[in-house]
Amino acid sequence: MDKLIAAFPQNIIESLDIASKVQLQKPINPIYNIVICGMGGSGIGGKLVSQWLQDELKVPVTLVQDYTLPAFVNENTLVIGSSYSGETEETLYSVTKAKALGAHIIGICSGGKLATFCKENKFDVILVPGGNPPRTALAFSLGQLISIFVQFGLVSQSNLEFFRRCSSLLIENQSAIKEEAKKLAAFLKDRFILIYSASNYEAVAIRARQQFNENGKILCTHHTIPEMNHNELVGWGLGDNRYGALFLDSEDWHVRNQQRLEFSQKVIGTKTEHIFTLKAKGNSVIERSIYLINVVDWASFYLSELNNVDATEIDVINTLKGQLSNS
């Protein structure tokens, strides 16, 4: 796992190289909405990219992490099926339904049934390198998704450059990232963690939760500011040192939310001794997100070592897939 995390900066460059060689078919009909279908490590890319580009996109983006599609899907919908293995059951159901509804479909995968489906139906499919855990292939889905939006004229080319700069950012800060990650892993050890972020960085918080789940083998939750100020903040009322609060500080908060962040940290600080603030680096939302993600990825690996567990092991997920395939 550590070698796969270390490869993240290079994966970014490789992903963009793949994207530069892809020439997508132009949709027959205008695109009025976008649906990204994907689960787990494949699906989080859609959440990240849709949040990064939300201030620039003129069409709505919906994420689907189930077997069904929204009723609005039709011939004016772009449906992107993202499945690293190409075998994800829920995603295959969704893109099959999208075909019946006349949507324009693009697949992102390393092969499998999704690649076959796209090729047989003359849909575009972007192939990425396979063979690793999907959560370690995040860079490949991110690069392809941004490129799709750029090729369709939905966002500016500059977003690809912001993504490219992430590689240098991570390399230049590698030592600091690992050092911060070790501190974070020690903080996470033997504690139930509540992760907090700004609402436009929720995808980063979700990614953190997923990594702590899969690599560190711990439970945790996430919430966002300002929404948590209307409910969860009250839940800290009795206080409990069994819990720890991890704040993902992107340092670009709305001025009112910055006040809410500071207030929330002060209140929670009276309820538990365990608070960790992870500060982002970078000059764009994409760079800051990737920086936080890389620190968290390393922290989840160091946590697996502290917990004496195999970061790559996901036996229970494989058992579930096996049972479903036989039913």
**Beta carbons within 10 angstroms of residue 32's beta carbon:** 14
The answer to the question of residue 91 being in a domain is yes
Q: Are residues 161 and 178 in the same domain?
A: no
Residue 325 has pLDDT above 80, yes or no: no
Asked if the structure places residue 229 within a domain, the reply is yes
Rounded Cα gap, residues 244 and 174, in angstroms: 26
Q: How many structural domains is the chain composed of? A: 2
pLDDT band, residue 8 (cuts 50/70/90):
very high
- Check whether residue 73 and residue 199 sit in a common domain: no
In a domain, 320, yes or no: no
| Annotation marks residue 178 as catalytic | no
CATH assignment of the domain containing 16:
3.40.50.10490
For residue 314, name the pLDDT band (cuts at 50, 70, 90).
confident
pLDDT band at 239 (very low <50, low <70, confident <90, very high): confident
Residue 314 lies in a domain: no
40 and 158 inside one domain: yes
- Say whether both 111 and 231 belong to one domain: no
Residue 315 counted as domain residue: no
Alpha carbons 135 and 269: distance in angstroms, whole number: 32
Name which of 253-257, 258-262, 317-321, 322-326 the model is least confident about.
322-326
Same domain, residue pair 253 and 285: yes
Q: What is the mean pLDDT of residues 75-86?
A: 97
21 and 160 fall within a common domain: yes
| Same domain for 183 and 75 | no
Q: Which residue has the higher pLDDT, 318 or 124?
A: 124
- Is it the case that residue 189 has pLDDT exceeding 80? yes
Q: Which of 183, 189, 254, 321 is catalytic?
A: 321
How confident is residue 318, by pLDDT bands cut at 50, 70 and 90? confident
What mean pLDDT is predicted for residues 282-294?
98
pLDDT reported for residue 315: 85
The yes-or-no answer on residue 230 being catalytic is: yes
- Domain range for 216 is 174-306
Query: Do 153 and 7 share a structural domain?
Result: yes
Confidence band, pLDDT 50/70/90 cuts, at residue 323: confident
**Rounded CA separation 279/92 (Å):** 38
Confidence of residue 322 (pLDDT cuts 50, 70, 90): confident
- Out of 148, 165, 182, a domain closes at 165
Domain boundary among 165, 192, 222: 165
Q: What is the pLDDT of residue 41?
A: 87
**Shared domain check, 210 and 65:** no
pTM over 0.85: yes
Please pick, among 3, 58, 122, 230, the residue that the annotation labels catalytic. 230
29 plus 142 within the same structural domain: yes
Last residue of a domain, one of 165, 197, 225: 165
pLDDT tens-digit profile of 43-68?
999 999 999 999 999 999 999 999 99
Catalytic residue among 178, 214, 222, 287: 214
Same domain, 102 and 221: no
pLDDT at 113: 97
| Residues 7 and 124 both lie in one domain | yes
Mean of the pLDDT values across residues 242-260?
96
Residue 266 has pLDDT above 80, yes or no: yes
Residue 70 clears pLDDT 90, i.e. is over it = yes
Task: Judge whether 51 and 5 are in contact, CB under 8 Å.
Answer: no
Q: What is the mean pLDDT of residues 149-166?
A: 97
Does residue 88 lie in a domain region? Answer: yes
Mean pLDDT of 271-292: 97
pLDDT at 170: 98
Note the Cα 324 to chain centre separation in Å: 25
- pLDDT score at 180: 98
Cα 86 from Cα 206, distance rounded (Å): 22
Task: Check residue 251 and give its pLDDT.
Answer: 87
Q: What is the pLDDT at residue 25? A: 94
pLDDT at residue 56, rounded to an integer = 96
Region 164-168: mean pLDDT is 98
Residue 321 is a catalytic residue = yes
318 falls within a domain: no
* 325 found inside a domain: no
